[in-house]
Amino acid sequence: MSGLKIVVIGGGSSYTPELIDGFIRRAAELPVAEICLVDILAGQHKLDIVADLARRMLTRIGLDSKITTTMDRAAALQGADFVVTQFRVGGLAARARDERFPLQYGVLGQETTGPGGFAKALRTIPVILDICRDMTKICPEAWLINFTNPAGLITESVLTYTKVKCLGLCNVPIHMKMTIAKLLDAKANDVFIDFAGLNHLVWGRKVWHRGIDVTASVLEKMQDGAALTMKNIPDLKWDGDFLRSLGMVPCPYHRYYYMTDSILAEEQAAATTGGAGTRAEIVQAVEENLFKLYQTPELAEKPAELEKRGGAYYSDAAVSLISAIYNDKREIHTVNTVNQGAISGLPTNCVIETNCVISKNGARPLTVGTLPPEIAGLVQQVKAYEMLAVEAGVHGDSNKALQALANHPLIPSVRVAKQLLADLLSLNAAYLPQFKD
Amino acid sequence: MSGLKIVVIGGGSSYTPELIDGFIRRAAELPVAEICLVDILAGQHKLDIVADLARRMLTRIGLDSKITTTMDRAAALQGADFVVTQFRVGGLAARARDERFPLQYGVLGQETTGPGGFAKALRTIPVILDICRDMTKICPEAWLINFTNPAGLITESVLTYTKVKCLGLCNVPIHMKMTIAKLLDAKANDVFIDFAGLNHLVWGRKVWHRGIDVTASVLEKMQDGAALTMKNIPDLKWDGDFLRSLGMVPCPYHRYYYMTDSILAEEQAAATTGGAGTRAEIVQAVEENLFKLYQTPELAEKPAELEKRGGAYYSDAAVSLISAIYNDKREIHTVNTVNQGAISGLPTNCVIETNCVISKNGARPLTVGTLPPEIAGLVQQVKAYEMLAVEAGVHGDSNKALQALANHPLIPSVRVAKQLLADLLSLNAAYLPQFKD
Amino acid sequence: MSGLKIVVIGGGSSYTPELIDGFIRRAAELPVAEICLVDILAGQHKLDIVADLARRMLTRIGLDSKITTTMDRAAALQGADFVVTQFRVGGLAARARDERFPLQYGVLGQETTGPGGFAKALRTIPVILDICRDMTKICPEAWLINFTNPAGLITESVLTYTKVKCLGLCNVPIHMKMTIAKLLDAKANDVFIDFAGLNHLVWGRKVWHRGIDVTASVLEKMQDGAALTMKNIPDLKWDGDFLRSLGMVPCPYHRYYYMTDSILAEEQAAATTGGAGTRAEIVQAVEENLFKLYQTPELAEKPAELEKRGGAYYSDAAVSLISAIYNDKREIHTVNTVNQGAISGLPTNCVIETNCVISKNGARPLTVGTLPPEIAGLVQQVKAYEMLAVEAGVHGDSNKALQALANHPLIPSVRVAKQLLADLLSLNAAYLPQFKD
Amino acid sequence: MSGLKIVVIGGGSSYTPELIDGFIRRAAELPVAEICLVDILAGQHKLDIVADLARRMLTRIGLDSKITTTMDRAAALQGADFVVTQFRVGGLAARARDERFPLQYGVLGQETTGPGGFAKALRTIPVILDICRDMTKICPEAWLINFTNPAGLITESVLTYTKVKCLGLCNVPIHMKMTIAKLLDAKANDVFIDFAGLNHLVWGRKVWHRGIDVTASVLEKMQDGAALTMKNIPDLKWDGDFLRSLGMVPCPYHRYYYMTDSILAEEQAAATTGGAGTRAEIVQAVEENLFKLYQTPELAEKPAELEKRGGAYYSDAAVSLISAIYNDKREIHTVNTVNQGAISGLPTNCVIETNCVISKNGARPLTVGTLPPEIAGLVQQVKAYEMLAVEAGVHGDSNKALQALANHPLIPSVRVAKQLLADLLSLNAAYLPQFKD
Ligand SMILES: [Mn+2]
Ligand SMILES: [Mn+2]
Ligand SMILES: [Mn+2]
Ligand SMILES: [Mn+2]
Considering only the beta carbons, identify the residue of B210, B361, B364 that sits closest to D367. Answer: B364
Instruction: Say yes or no to pLDDT of D338 above 90.
Output: yes
Residues of chain C with C-beta less than 8 angstroms from the C-beta of D378: 381, 384, 407
Please report the pLDDT score of residue C236 as a whole number.
87
Predicted confidence at residue A226, as pLDDT, reads: 56
Query: What percentage of residues in chain C have a pLDDT greater than 70?
Result: 98
Inter-chain CB proximity A360 and C332 less than 8 Å? no
* ipTM computed for the complex: 0.96
Mean pLDDT of chain B: 95
CB contact under 8 A, A366 and C364: yes
Q: Using 50, 70 and 90 to split pLDDT, how confident is the model at D7?
A: very high
pLDDT band at B2 (very low <50, low <70, confident <90, very high): confident
Per-residue pLDDT for D226 more than 60? no
Report how far residue B24's alpha carbon sits from residue B145's, in angstroms, rounded to the nearest whole number: 18
Computed over every residue of chain A, the mean pLDDT equals 95
Q: What's the mean per-residue pLDDT of chain C?
A: 95
Mean pLDDT of chain D, nearest integer: 95
User: Does residue C120 fall inside a structural domain?
Assistant: yes
Q: Is A248 on the interface with B (CB under 8 A)?
A: no
Given an 8 Å threshold on Cβ–Cβ distance, is B360 in contact with D212? Answer: yes
Q: Over 90: is that where the pLDDT of C225 sits?
A: no
The two most distant CA atoms of chain A are separated, in Å, by 60
Cis ω before B150 (30° cut-off from 0)? yes
Instruction: Give the pLDDT confidence score for residue B235 in this predicted structure.
Output: 80
Contacts of C309 (CB under 8 A, 6+ apart): C14, C15, C231, C283, C286, C287, C290
Averaged pLDDT, B93-122: 97
pLDDT at C228: 63
Among D201, D221, D223, D206, residue whose Cα is nearest residue D386: D201
pLDDT at A225 over 60: no
Q: Is the dihedral of CA A247, A251, A252, A254 positive or negative?
A: negative
> What pLDDT, in 10s, does the model give residues B354-368?
999 999 999 999 999
Look at residue D274 and tell me whether its pLDDT is greater than 80.
Answer: yes
B–D interface: beta-carbon pairs under 8 A? 74
pLDDT in tens, D295-336: 999 999 998 888 777 777 888 899 999 999 999 999 999 999
Average of per-residue pLDDT across D263-282: 91
Whether C366 has its CB under 8 Å from any CB of chain A: the answer is yes
Q: Which ligand is nearest to the CA of D230?
A: 4
pLDDT at B155 over 60: yes
Q: Measured between CB atoms, does B378 come within 8 Å of chain A? A: yes
Amino acid code (one letter) for C152? G
Q: Which domain holds residue C37?
A: 4-90+108-168+284-316
pLDDT in tens, D81-100: 999 999 999 999 999 999 99
C406-434 pLDDT, tens digit each: 999 999 999 999 999 999 999 999 999 99
Q: How many domains does chain D have?
A: 1
Residue B126 placed within a domain: yes
Q: Is the pLDDT assigned to residue C285 strictly greater than 70? A: yes
CA atoms of A229 and A209, how far apart (whole Å): 21
Distance B200 CA to ligand 2 centre (A): 6
Q: How confident is the model at residue A305 (pLDDT cuts 50, 70, 90)?
A: confident
Mind giving me the DSSP string for D94-105?
HHHHHHHTTGGG
- The response to whether D244 counts as a known ligand-binding position is no
Looking at residue A314, its pLDDT comes to 86
Q: Subunits with at least 3 CB pairs below 8 A relative to chain C?
A: A, D
Is the minimum CB–CB distance between A340 and chain C shorter than 8 Å?
A: yes
Reported confidence tier of residue B225, pLDDT bands at 50, 70, 90 = low
Whole-number Cα distances in Å, A356 to A17, A143, A177, A316, C200: 27, 16, 15, 17, 27
* CATH number of the domain enclosing D58: 3.40.50.720
Which of B253, B257, B313, B314 does the annotation list as catalytic? B253
pLDDT, position A233? 78
Q: What is the pLDDT of residues B252-263, one digit of tens each?
A: 999 999 999 999
Q: Among B223-232, C37-46, C252-261, which stretch is predicted with the lowest mean pLDDT?
A: B223-232
Mean pLDDT of C157-180: 97
Mean pLDDT over residues A129-147, rounded?
98
Q: From C380, which residue of chain D is nearest by alpha-carbon distance?
A: D377
Please say if the pLDDT value at position D437 is more than 80: no
Do D381 and C410 touch, CB atoms closer than 8 A?
no
From chain C, pick out residues whose CB is under 8 angstroms from the CB of D402.
Answer: 241-242, 245
**Torsion region of D331: left, alpha or beta (phi above 0 gives left; psi -120 to 50 gives alpha):** beta
Residue-wise pLDDT for B283-333, tens only, equals 898 899 999 999 999 999 988 888 777 777 888 899 999 999 999 999 999
What confidence tier does B223 reach under pLDDT thresholds 50, 70, 90? confident
Q: Which chains touch B (3 or more CB pairs under 8 A)?
A: A, D
Whole-number Å distance between alpha carbons of C111 and C232: 9
At position A65, the amino acid (one-letter code) is: S
**Touching check for A341 and chain C: CB below 8 Å?**
yes
Other C-beta atoms closer than 10 Å to the C-beta of A295 total 12
Active site residue B326: no
Crossing angle for the helix pair D215-223 and D172-183, nearest 10 degrees? 90
Helix (H, G, I), strand (E, B) or coil at B153: helix
Q: What pLDDT does residue C249 have?
A: 97
Q: Is C213 within the bounds of a domain?
A: no
pLDDT score at D314: 86
Examine the pLDDT at A310 and tell me if it is beyond 80.
Answer: no
Span from the CA of A171 to the centroid of ligand 1 (angstroms): 5
D392 interfacial to chain C (CB closer than 8 Å): no
| pLDDT computed for residue C46 by the predictor | 96
Distances (CA, A) of A400 to A392, B124, C100, C358: 5, 39, 66, 43
Residue A346 lies in a domain: no
Residue C95, annotated ligand binder?
Answer: yes
- Would residue D154 count as lying in a domain? yes
C-alpha C191/C-alpha C189 separation (Å) is 5
Q: Tell me the pLDDT tens digit for each residue of A336-347.
A: 999 999 999 999
What is the model's pLDDT at position B229? Answer: 67
The answer as to whether C52 is a domain residue is yes
How sure is the predictor about D235, in pLDDT bands with cuts at 50, 70 and 90? confident
Beta strand extents in A223-350 (DSSP E only): 331-338, 343-344
Tell me whether residues C380 and D376 touch, CB distance under 8 A.
yes
| Residue B294 included in any domain | no
pLDDT of residue C382: 98
Q: What is the pLDDT of residue B306?
A: 82
Amino acid symbol at D371: L
Do the domain assignments include residue C70? yes
Three-state SS annotation for chain C: CCCEEEEEECCCCCCHHHHHHHHHHCCCCCCEEEEEEECCHHHHHHHHHHHHHHHHHHHHHCCCCEEEEECCHHHHHCCCCEEEECCCCCHHHHHHHHHHCCHHHCCCCCCCCHHHHHHHHHHHHHHHHHHHHHHHHHCCCCEEEECCCCHHHHHHHHHHHCCCEEEECCCHHHHHHHHHHHHHCCCHHHEEEEEEEECCEEEEEEEEECCEECHHHHHHHHHCCCCCCCCCCCCCCCCHHHHHHHCCECCHHHHHHHEHHHHHHHHHHHHCCCCCCCHHHHHHHHHHHHHHHHCCCCCCCCCHHHHHHCCCCHHHHHHHHHHHHHCCCCEEEEEEEECCCCEECCCCCCEEEEEEEEECCEEEEECCEECCHHHHHHHHHHHHHHHHHHHHHHHCCHHHHHHHHHCCCCCCEHHHHHHHHHHHHHHCHHHCHHHCC
Whether residue B59 contacts residue B30, with contact meaning beta carbons closer than 8 Å, is answered with no
Does B437 have pLDDT greater than 90?
A: no
